[in-house]
Amino acid sequence: MPALPLGEPVPDDGRLPADVGQRVRAAARDGAARTFSLYVHVPFCTVRCGYCDFNTYTAVDLGPGAGRGDYWESAVTELDFAADVLASSDVPARPLHTVFFGGGTPTLLPAADLVRILQAAVDRFGIAPGAEVTTEANPDTITPEYARQLAAGGFTRLSLGMQSAVPHVLATLERTHRPESVPAAVAAAREAGLEVSLDLIYGTAGESLADWRATLEAAVVLAPDHVSAYSLIVEEGTKLGAQVARGEVADVDPDDQADKYLLAEELLGAAGYRWYEVSNWARDPQGSGVHRARHNVAYWEDQDWWGIGPGAHSHLAGVRFWNAKHPAAYAQRLATGVTPAVGRERPDADARRLERIMLAVRTVDGLPTAELVSETPGEAARTRGAIAELIAAGLLDGRAAVDGRIVPTLEGRLRNDAIVRALAGF
C-alpha cells in the first residue's frame, strides 16, 4: 500500500493559509466561482482484492471510532471540524456541489449510517439544488430495502463494482460477488429511483477478448446511466504485484488492453454511450452530458473538495492536505480535538501546469489552447509546434484545435502519455 506524501505539518487546529479564502472570493468575483464537494472514505471491505492498493481494512473493529459499528460518529466529528476550520479560516460558505462515498465498500455499513453522515454534511454546509450524491457499492450488498433507504436519505446515484460478468475473471480479481448479483442490484437501484453507474476492469490475466465482450454486452443489457472501464494496473506492494513478480500470474499486456479499449468504445458507442474522459462513458444520445459523473468532473477541473476519513485527501484553492492513514490513528486524533490532517502542500506553478495538462487532455472537453500558448514567446512557439506534430500523428483532433481546444482522438486516448509528454516538453 503506497505511503502518504510527507508535505509540511498541519497546525493542530487545522487552520488554512490566509490566502485560501481570498482565492475563493476572487474566483467568484471573476465569474469562475469554485464549487465545493465532499468525499467520504469508508475503509472497510470483507476481502482485500489482490489488485487493490486503496486504504482498506477487513477487520470489523479497529478501535474506538474506527470500527464498522461507530465509524459514522468519527466521520460526523470530522464534518464538525471541517465546518469550524472553514469558518475560522474565513473561507466563504458554499453548498455542496457533489458528495461521493468511496472505499473500501461503503455499503458494508448500514444504510442508516451513510444517511447519518450525509445528513450531517448537509446540515453543516447545505447542498446545491440537484446535487449529485453517490455511493460506491459491492453488488452483493444492495437489496431493494437498502436502495430505498439510500434514496429516501438523499442519495441520487449508485456506483456498482461489477468489474466483470465472467466468473473466472472475478475469481482472478478476488471479487466476492457472483455475476447474477449485478442485475439484481441494478433493479433494486432503479426501483428506488437511483441513477446507476457500472465499474468494469479489463486486462486481467486469463481474460480473453471474448470474455471482455461478454462483460460489455452484459453491462449494456442492464442500461446503466454511466460506465467506467479501467485497465488493470499491477500496483507495487499488492498481492497481485507479488504474484506477477514471482511469475505466478501473467503481467498485463498493453496490446491486449488496447484491443479491449477499442472494443469498449465500439460497443458502448453503438449503445448510445459517449466517452467524456478516457475511462468513462455516459448514456448521452443528445450530447447534453447529463449523466456524467459530476464528482469526478470536479476533480478533473481542479475544483475544491474536503475529504472525510482515514487517508482522505482534500483540496482548497491550491492547498492540498491529507488525513492520517490508519482508521485508529484518524479516530484518535479527532477524539482529542486535533485535526486528522497530517500533511499538506501547495504545488508550484510547474506542477499545477503539468497536472492540468494530464487531466484535461483525457477529456472530451479538452484543454483550451490559450492556456498553453500564453507563456513566453519561445515556449508558445514550442507548444504550437508540439500541437501541430500531435495532430499530424493522429493523436489530437484537428477540428477541435481549430476551435481552440486540445482534444485526443481515439488513437490519442490510447497513447495519452505521449500527448502529455509532448505538451509538457518532456
Instruction: Please state the three-class secondary structure of 110-141 as a single string.
Output: CHHHHHHHHHHHHHHHCEEEEEEEEEEECHHH
Between vectors from CA 212 to CA 208 and to CA 218, what angle results, nearest 5°?
140
How does pLDDT run across 365-416, given as a tens digit for each residue?
A: 999 998 887 667 777 788 899 999 999 999 999 999 999 999 999 999 999 9
Structural domain contains residue 231: yes
φ and ψ at residue 380, rounded to 5 degrees: -65, -40
Structural domain contains residue 99: yes
CA dihedral 52, 57, 58, 59 (to 10 degrees): 170
Note whether 310 and 193 are same-domain residues: yes
Structural domain contains residue 7: no
Q: How far apart are CA 299 and CA 107, in angstroms?
A: 23
Note whether 413 and 312 are same-domain residues: no
Task: Tell me how many domains the chain contains.
Answer: 2
What pLDDT, on a 0 to 100 scale, did the predictor assign at position 287?
72
Residue with cell 483550451: 368
Note whether 298 and 419 are same-domain residues: no
% of the chain surpassing 70 pLDDT? 98
User: Is residue 316 over pLDDT 90?
Assistant: yes
Note whether 341 and 369 are same-domain residues: no
Last residue of a domain, one of 292, 317, 345: 345
Instruction: Decide if 68 contacts 110 (C-beta within 8 A).
Output: no
User: Is residue 4 over pLDDT 60?
Assistant: no
User: Is residue 90 over pLDDT 90?
Assistant: yes
Last residue of a domain, one of 286, 311, 345: 345
Note whether 171 and 272 are same-domain residues: yes
Note whether 213 and 287 are same-domain residues: yes
Q: How far apart are CA 154 and CA 98, in angstroms?
A: 12
* Nearest in space to 309 (alpha carbons), one of 87, 58, 76, 16: 76
Note whether 198 and 326 are same-domain residues: yes
> What are the CA-CA distances from residue 57 to residues 42, 108, 235 (Å)?
10, 12, 17
pLDDT band at 5 (very low <50, low <70, confident <90, very high): low
What pLDDT, on a 0 to 100 scale, did the predictor assign at position 258?
97
User: Is residue 143 over pLDDT 60?
Assistant: yes
Which domain range does residue 117 map to?
A: 18-345
Least confidently predicted of 35-39, 122-126, 422-426: 422-426
Structural domain contains residue 395: yes
Note whether 377 and 363 are same-domain residues: yes
Query: Highest mean pLDDT: which of 128-142, 285-299, 366-380?
Result: 128-142
Structural domain contains residue 2: no
Last residue of a domain, one of 345, 378, 408: 345
Question: Is beta strand 313-316 parallel, antiparallel or unpaired with respect to 319-323?
Answer: antiparallel
Structural domain contains residue 416: yes
Q: How far apart are CA 400 and CA 387, in angstroms?
A: 11
User: Is residue 240 over pLDDT 90?
Assistant: no
User: Is residue 321 over pLDDT 70?
Assistant: yes
Residues linked to residue 202 through DSSP beta bridges, in sequence order: 231
Mean pLDDT for 199-224 is: 97
Note whether 266 and 378 are same-domain residues: no
How does pLDDT run across 35-87, given as a tens digit for each residue?
A: 999 999 999 999 888 888 888 998 889 999 999 999 999 999 999 999 999 99
Note whether 341 and 374 are same-domain residues: no
Note whether 60 and 181 are same-domain residues: yes
Structural domain contains residue 9: no
Q: What residues contact residue 277 under an 8 Å CB cut-off, 6+ apart?
A: 296, 300, 362, 363, 364
What pLDDT, on a 0 to 100 scale, did the predictor assign at position 2?
52
Between vectors from CA 272 to CA 260 and to CA 141, what angle results, nearest 5°?
70
Note whether 307 and 257 are same-domain residues: yes
State the CATH number of the domain containing residue 196.
3.20.20.70
User: Is residue 3 over pLDDT 70?
Assistant: no
Structural domain contains residue 214: yes
pTM of this structure: 0.95
